Structure 1
Amino acid sequence: MHWINWLIVIAYLTYVVTDGVRKSKGTDTIAGYFTANKSLPWWVVGLSVMATQLSAVTMIGTTGQGATDGLRFVQLYFGLPLAMVILGVTLVPLLHGSGVYTAYEYLEQRFDAKTRSFTAFLFLLSRGMSVGTIMAAPGVVFSAVFGIPLVWAVALIGVPTVIYTMIGGVQAVAWADVKQMVLIVVSLVAIMCVLLMQMPTSPHDALQIAGATGRLKTFDFGFNINEQYTFWSGVLGGTFLMLSYFGTDQSQVQRYLAARSVDEAKTSLIVSAYWKIPLQALVLCVGISVFVYYQFVQPPLLYNPVHEQAVTAQRGAAYDELQNEYATAFTMREAAALEVSEADDEVSTTAAMEIFLAREGEVQAIRGRALSMAEEVTGESSRDVNYIIPHFVLNELPLGLAGLFIAGIIAAAMSSISSELNSLATTSVIDFYRRWVRPEASDSHYLAVSRGATALWGLFACVVATYAATLGSLIEVVNRFGSFFYGSILGVFLLAMIPRARGTGAFVGLLVGMTVVGFVNFGTDVAYLWQNVIGAGVVVVVGVALSGSKRKPALP
C-alpha cells in the first residue's frame, strides 16, 4: 500500500486514540464510566447506536453480500422502525427510569437473581462471540494487505481499541462513534462516486446487468421459513431480532441509559432506525456496483490471496489450466455484457440478456471449481465473499481514497468493538462481580475490575476472530450468533411486562426457549431470523404457564 494511504490510516488511528483518552474526563466513578452520568444528547446517542451497528462487518461483509447476493439482504431491516416504536413505549422508559446500569439488573428487581444471572450470562456468551466476528472484518483486510497471519492482523486493530475503551468508558466510546460515523459515511459515498465514474458502461446499463442477475431484487413475498431473506422473515423475524437487540442487548441499552432523558433516549432510537435502512441500502449498492464493475474488469479467480498462493503452490498446473478457462469465459461474458449495454430495443435486450446470463453461469461454474480446489488444498472454508471489497479497494481505488476507505473500515471496527467491549465489561462487573463476589467496594475498585474485564474480553474476541473469518459472510455470522440467543432473551423481558409472570416461570421458560432454539438451529433448515420469533414465543408461553395466577407485586 502506498505511503500516502498509510499516512491517512496512521493519522486517523492516532487521532481516535488520543481523543478517546481526552474524553475520559469524568469517568472516575462507575456512573460516569458506565452511563456518562446520563449526560449525552440524543444526537450523540443516536449516532453512537448507528456506529455500533455499522461495523467493519458491514463495510466488508455486507458489501460482499451485495456483490454476491444483491439487495435481498436489506429485507432483514424492514422490522426495525416498528421495533423502535414498540421499544419507545415499553422498555426504553422502563429501563431508563429504573436506575440500573445494565438491562439485566432490572430482571432481578422484577423476578429473581437466578433469572438475572442466566440472562446476563447468555448475553456475555452471544456478544463475546459477535465482537470476535466484528474484529475479524478488519483482520481480513490487514491480513490481505500485509501478508501476515490473521492473528497478528486481528491484534493490530484489537489492541489500540481495547486501550482507549479501558481508559475512557462509555463517554469516550460515544463521542468517538460520532466522528467515526462521519468518516464511514464519507468513505462509502466516495467509493460509490468513484465506481460510477470508473464504470465502463452507463448507470442505466449497469442497472440492467445487475437486474438481469437478480441483484436488484429487493422484495421476496414468498412465505418460506427455510428461506433466509424474505419480506416476511424481515418484518416478523427481523422485528423480534431488533426488539431483542435494541431492547435487551447491553451494547445498545447502555447507549440510551446514558441519554439525558427518556425523551432523548426515544428520539435517538427513532432517528437511528430511519437512517439505518437507507445506509444499509447504500452499503449493498456499493457491493452491487463492484459486481457490475467486475463484469468489465477481470477480477482474480480467488479473492483470498492466501488461498490463491496455497493452490498455486500445490496444484500449480491444474490451477493454471483453470485460470486459462476463466480468462476465456470472462472475455466472452464481457462481450455479452457489452451487447446488453448496446442493445437499443426490447427484443435485442432480451436476447442479449439471455446470452449474458449463460456466460455468467459459465464463469461462476469455473469459480466454483476453483473454490472447491482451495477448500481441498487448505482444509478451510473457501468462501471468499469477505475478500471482494478489500481486493477492489487496494487494486482499483485512486491514491488516497484507498487509505480513506481502510480508515473507514478501522473506524467502523473501533466504534463497534469498543461499544461491545464496554458493555461486556459492564455486565461482567455489575451483574456478576458486584452481585456475587464483592457487593461492597469503592468506585475505584470497580473501575479497576472493569478495565481488567475489558482486557480479558478483548483477548477472547481476538481468539474468536481468527475462527470467524473462515465462516463465510461475516454479517450473516453476526446475525446467526445473535439470533440463537436473542429471541429467548427477549422473551424474558416480555414476561417482565406481564403482571402474572413470576421468577420460576421466567427462568424455566428461558431454559426451555434456549433448548427449543438449539434444536431448531441444529436439527432443521429453518432460517435463522425465525429463531428470534420461536425463542421469544416459547419463553413467554412456558413462563406464563408456570407462573400461576399470583402476581409478584410491581415495583414503585
Structure 2
Amino acid sequence: MKNLDWAVLIFVLLFIVIYGIYKSQKVKTTESFLGGKTNPWWMVGLSIMATQASAITFLSTPGQAYHDGLGFVQFYFGLPIAMVILCVWVLPKFFKMNVLTAYEYLEKRFGLSTRILTAILFLIQRGLAAGITIFAPAIILSTILGWNLMLTNIVIGALVTIYTLVGGTEAVSQTQKQQMIVIFIGMFLAFYLIVENLPMNLNDALLYSGAMGKINPVSFEFDINSRYNIWSAFLGGTFLFLSYFGTDQSQVQRYLTGKSLKEARLGLLFNGLFKIPMQFFILFIGVMVFVFFQFEKTPLNFNPLSQKLQNNTEYRALNTEFNQLHEDKKQKIIAWKADHSPEIMAELKVLQAKEITIRQEVKDLIDKAAPEIESNDKDYVFIYYILNYLPTGIVGLLIAVILSAAMSSTSSELNALATTTVVDIYKRNFAPNISEKKYLNASRLFTLMWGMIAIFFAVNASLFENLIQAVNIIGSLFYGVILGVFAIAFLFPKIGGKATMWSILIVEPIIILLYFLDVRELIELEFLWLNPIGCLLMILSAGILEPFMKKVKI
C-alpha cells in the first residue's frame, strides 16, 4: 500500500474508534448492555446489519462468487420469513418481560438449569465464531504487511478487545452507523471501478459469466446433498435465521436497544428487506472480478505464500501450462465478443475446465510439498484484486471497509458474550446482590476473558472451505438445538423444564455426530439441514420425555 492508502485507512479507523469512545463516556450501569434502549428503528436496522457484516462478508463472499457464482445468495432467502415470524411472536415477549438477554425468558418458563445450559451453548458457539471473525482481517493485514499470521491474529484480537472494553455496547451501537456508511461507500466504489475497467461491456460480461455458470442465483433442484438450493434455503435457512436472530444474544442485544417494540420491529424488517440485495451485490462484485481476471494474469494460487513453490519443478511446469492456457482463452474471448459464437463459447468452456483442473493440481501440490501453506485460496481473491488493481487511496478505503466490519462484528460478539456471562451466569448464580458498578466491572473482565478465548480460536483456525461457510457451519451445530428450546417455550406450554433440559443433553451430541459423519463422508448431509433437524429433534425428544419427567424426580 502507498502512503495515501495508509493515511486513509488510519484516519477512518481512528475516527470510528474515537467517536465511539466519546459517545460512550456516560456508561455507568448494566442498562448500558442495551445501550440505554434509546435507538430509533433505522439505527437498530443498521446495527443488526453491521453485526452480521463482518470482515468475512467483504473478504470471503466475493471469493465465493469468483469460484462458484451467485448461488450462495440462496442462503439468505429464508431471512425475510424469519424476520416476520420474530416480529409477530418473539419480540413482544422479550419487550414485555424487559429482559437483558434472550435466556432470561427461559428461566421463567423452564427454570434455572435450562437457562444456564442454553446460555452455555450460545457462549461456546459465539466464542468459536468470534475467533473466525478475528481470523478474517488477520489474513488481510498479514498479506499487506508480510506479518506472521499468528502475530496478526493476536494484534487484531487485542485491539478489538480493548475497543470493546473501553466503549461497551454504547460504543458498538454508536459506531456501527459510521461503519456501515464506510462499508457502503467502499463497496459501491469497488463495483464502479471493476465495471469501469472491464475489457468488455456489462452486457457481454453478464453473457460470458452466465455461460461459465456464475449467474446461478436460484437452483430448484431438490437435493439434500446440495449445499445451496431454494429448498435448503427456505427450510434450513429459515430455521438458521430464526435461531440466529431470535436466540443469539449478539443479535437479540442489537434490537433490544430499540426505544420501543415498534422501533425494534421496524429495525428487524429493515434488515430482512435489505440483506438479500446487499449479499447479492457483494456476490455480483465477485462475479465481475472473475470476468476481469479473464483478461489479467493471475497467480496459480491467490494465497501469496504459495509463491514459495515457484522454484518447484512441478509448480513451474503447471505455471507454464497455465500461462499458455490464459493467453489462448483471452484470444478466444476477444473472438467471442465479435459475434457471440456458440462454437467459440463451447471452446471457452473447455479451456475454463482445464484452468480449474490446473488450479486443483496446484492445490494438491501445495498440500503435498508445503502442507504448512493454506492451499484453499477463496478468501484471498478479492484482497488480491484490491491490492493490485485499484487506485491509490481507494485501496486504503476498502481495507478500512473490511477492518471496520471486523471491528463492528467482533466487538458486538464480545459484548454479547460478556453480557450473557454476567447476566445469565455470574449475576444469577454467584453475585446476585452487588452494585451496578461492580456488575459493569465484571462485564469488562468477562469481555477481556472472551477476547483472549477468541484470539486463541483465531490463532488455531483453519480456512475450512472458506471463512463465510465456516461461521455458518459453527452456527448450524448449535442453532437448531437452541431454537428448539425456544420453540418448546413458545409453542408447547405442557412441556416442562426437565424434559427440555435432558433433550438438550441428548440432541446436541447427535447433531455434532451427524456433522462429523458428513465430514468423514460416511453420510451425505449438508450443514444447513442440521438446523431444522436439531429443532425438530428437540421438540420430539422433549415431547417423548415429558410424561416420564412427571413421574420421576430428577
- Give the TM-score normalised by the residue count of structure 2: 0.96
- Counterpart of 2:66 in 1: which secondary structure? helix
Q: Is the 8 A contact 1:382 1:470 kept in 2?
A: no
For the residues of structure 2 that align with 1:525 and 1:452, how far apart are their CA atoms?
A: 43
Matched, 1:379 2:371: yes
Q: Is the 8 A contact 2:499 2:549 kept in 1?
A: no
The answer for the alignment partner of 2:356 in structure 1 is 364
The answer for the alignment partner of 2:319 in structure 1 is 323
The answer for the alignment partner of 2:394 in structure 1 is 401
For the residues of structure 2 that align with 1:516 and 1:223, how far apart are their CA atoms?
A: 24
Written as runs of structure 1 = structure 2, the 5 A alignment for 1:311-460 is 311-312=309-310, 316-344=312-340, 348=341, 350-380=342-372, 381-460=374-453
For the residues of structure 2 that align with 1:488 and 1:520, how far apart are their CA atoms?
A: 13
* 5+ residue gaps, structure 2: 518-522
1:514-544: CA deviation from partner (whole Å, max 9, x where unpaired): 1221222112321110100000000011112
- Counterpart of 2:150 in 1: which secondary structure? helix
The answer for the alignment partner of 2:142 in structure 1 is 143
1:176-198: CA deviation from partner (whole Å, max 9, x where unpaired): 11110111111111000000110
The answer for the alignment partner of 1:132 in structure 2 is 131
Per-residue deviation at 1:549? 11
Per-residue deviation at 1:246? 0.2
1:415-469: CA deviation from partner (whole Å, max 9, x where unpaired): 1011001000001111111122222211111111111111121122122223334
The answer for the alignment partner of 1:21 in structure 2 is 21
Q: Is the 8 A contact 1:468 1:474 kept in 2?
A: no
For the residues of structure 1 that align with 2:448 and 2:332, how far apart are their CA atoms?
A: 54
Q: Is the 8 A contact 1:151 1:462 kept in 2?
A: no
For the residues of structure 1 that align with 2:461 and 2:208, how far apart are their CA atoms?
A: 32
Written as runs of structure 1 = structure 2, the 5 A alignment for 1:194-205 is 194-205=193-204
Per-residue deviation at 1:224? 1.1
Equivalent residue letter for 2:472: N
The answer for the alignment partner of 2:494 in structure 1 is 500
1:24-59: CA deviation from partner (whole Å, max 9, x where unpaired): 133100012x01221111111110000111111000
For the residues of structure 2 that align with 1:250 and 1:338, how far apart are their CA atoms?
A: 52
For the residues of structure 2 that align with 1:521 and 1:456, how far apart are their CA atoms?
A: 29
Equivalent residue letter for 1:379: P
Per-residue deviation at 1:387? 0.4
1:519 to 513, 518, 522: 513
For the residues of structure 2 that align with 1:224 and 1:322, how far apart are their CA atoms?
A: 35
Identity in percent: 39
Per-residue deviation at 1:8? 0.7
Q: Is the 8 A contact 2:35 2:173 kept in 1?
A: no
The answer for the alignment partner of 1:185 in structure 2 is 184
The answer for the alignment partner of 1:482 in structure 2 is 475
TM-aligned CA distance change 1:372 to 1:267, over 3 Å: same
Cα RMSD over matched residues? 1.5
The answer for the alignment partner of 2:243 in structure 1 is 244
Equivalent residue letter for 1:439: P
The answer for the alignment partner of 1:283 in structure 2 is 282
1:280-305: CA deviation from partner (whole Å, max 9, x where unpaired): 00110011111111011011111111
Matched, 1:547 2:546: yes
Q: Is the 8 A contact 1:243 1:490 kept in 2?
A: yes
For the residues of structure 1 that align with 2:20 and 2:2, how far apart are their CA atoms?
A: 28
The answer for the alignment partner of 2:520 in structure 1 is none
The answer for the alignment partner of 1:464 in structure 2 is 457
1:451-506: CA deviation from partner (whole Å, max 9, x where unpaired): 11111211221222233343231000000000010000000000101211200111
For the residues of structure 2 that align with 1:458 and 1:117, how far apart are their CA atoms?
A: 21
Deviates more, 1:394-403 or 1:374-383: 374-383
For the residues of structure 2 that align with 1:308 and 1:464, how far apart are their CA atoms?
A: 27
Equivalent residue letter for 1:516: I
For the residues of structure 2 that align with 1:396 and 1:156, how far apart are their CA atoms?
A: 27
Deviates more, 1:429-438 or 1:372-381: 372-381
Equivalent residue letter for 2:385: F
- Counterpart of 2:460 in 1: which secondary structure? helix
* 5+ residue gaps, structure 1: 552-556
For the residues of structure 2 that align with 1:308 and 1:486, how far apart are their CA atoms?
A: 40
Written as runs of structure 1 = structure 2, the 5 A alignment for 1:75-154 is 75-154=74-153
- Counterpart of 1:394 in 2: which secondary structure? helix
The answer for the alignment partner of 2:258 in structure 1 is 259
Per-residue deviation at 1:110? 0.7
1:263-319: CA deviation from partner (whole Å, max 9, x where unpaired): 11111000011100000001100111111110110111111111322x23xx53322
For the residues of structure 2 that align with 1:509 and 1:493, how far apart are their CA atoms?
A: 13
Q: Is the 8 A contact 1:137 1:469 kept in 2?
A: no
For the residues of structure 1 that align with 2:425 and 2:387, how far apart are their CA atoms?
A: 45
- Counterpart of 1:97 in 2: which secondary structure? helix
Per-residue deviation at 1:12? 1.4
The answer for the alignment partner of 2:503 in structure 1 is 509
- Counterpart of 2:225 in 1: which secondary structure? coil
For the residues of structure 2 that align with 1:364 and 1:266, how far apart are their CA atoms?
A: 46
Q: Is the 8 A contact 1:170 1:422 kept in 2?
A: yes
The answer for the alignment partner of 1:54 in structure 2 is 53
For the residues of structure 2 that align with 1:220 and 1:318, how far apart are their CA atoms?
A: 38
Deviates more, 1:276-285 or 1:157-166: 157-166
For the residues of structure 2 that align with 1:37 and 1:97, how far apart are their CA atoms?
A: 16
Deviates more, 1:210-219 or 1:518-527: 518-527
Per-residue deviation at 1:99? 2.0
For the residues of structure 1 that align with 2:506 and 2:532, how far apart are their CA atoms?
A: 14
For the residues of structure 2 that align with 1:338 and 1:255, how far apart are their CA atoms?
A: 50
2:466 to 438, 450, 473: 473
1:222-252: CA deviation from partner (whole Å, max 9, x where unpaired): 1111110000000110000000000000000
1:1-40: CA deviation from partner (whole Å, max 9, x where unpaired): 10100001111121122112112133100012x0122111
For the residues of structure 2 that align with 1:340 and 1:489, how far apart are their CA atoms?
A: 53
The answer for the alignment partner of 1:554 in structure 2 is none
Equivalences, count: 543
Equivalent residue letter for 2:13: L
Equivalent residue letter for 1:59: F
1:320-363: CA deviation from partner (whole Å, max 9, x where unpaired): 2221111001111112222222225xxx2x11111001111111
Q: Is the 8 A contact 2:83 2:269 kept in 1?
A: yes
Per-residue deviation at 1:152? 2.1
- Counterpart of 1:148 in 2: which secondary structure? coil
